[in-house]
Amino acid sequence: MPMSARDYTWLFTPGSTFTYESGTAGVIHVADGGDLGLPTGRVVACDPFVYLGAGDIEPFTVTVEPGRYRVEAAMATLTRPDEPSSDKPHHRVAAARLVIRDEPTATWELAVQPGQDLSELGEDEFYGYGVDAGTGGFYDASVDGSFPECEADEGPLWDAFAEHGHAPGPYLVTSPSTGHTLAAFGSGWGDGVYPTWIGRTTTGEVTCFVTDFFVAPDPADVPA
């Protein structure tokens, strides 16, 4: 069977804690990433430094009503018991969430692009997006070509990270020429492939899109 969703309610609950086998401990807080505009309701998730404007990333097959939706990041603050406290905490984005409805999530499904078939996945496999620049993001499909200022190490996307010492965000980035927005954030430990999950209410309404960066272990896998 494909990979199962983890407990994302726990992951987005401020104060949730975990400990790695190495002894490093983590505590979660939720960071506000602003309200993202979705003019068409077709959601794209990708590494924006690599794929924004390339035109080769398909939106997910599940769409939502056009509008503005809150972006949040589950931030893990990591500490080691044998290290003194620091005025520069070690932060990692454990997961990023695009909130469609502030309602409880009853079920989860893997977000897929056209042509992706869940029945073709093997045990614990998943569809996800590749990260090559240590960054993830959400934006509307219509926005893909709306950031002409973003090229290589130039433009508002680069500036958002550079102006904050390349902290992981999250950041709401606006194109000065078009006014369109995208949400960007560090991708956990960096490059890799990461799945996005779609939450639904008991009646099937979409609650959120969540990209998991595999920073926090699943609490079900942690010995009591």
Kindly state the average pLDDT of the residues 98-114.
Answer: 97
CB neighbour list of residue 31: distance below 8 Å, 6 or more residues apart: 72, 73, 75, 169, 170
Domain ranges of the chain: 8-219
Q: Decide if pLDDT at 128 tops 80.
A: yes
CB neighbour list of residue 143: distance below 8 Å, 6 or more residues apart: 37, 39, 44, 180, 181, 182
Per-residue pLDDT of 15-55, as tens digits, reads 999 998 888 889 999 999 999 999 999 999 999 999 998 88
- Give the per-residue pLDDT at 219: 73
- Give the per-residue pLDDT at 223: 53
Q: Decide if pLDDT at 166 tops 80.
A: yes
- Give the per-residue pLDDT at 184: 97
3-class DSSP assignment, residue 145: coil
Contact 131, 190 (CB under 8 A): yes
- Give the per-residue pLDDT at 84: 66
Contact 210, 188 (CB under 8 A): no
Give CA–CA dist 133/67, Å, rounded: 29
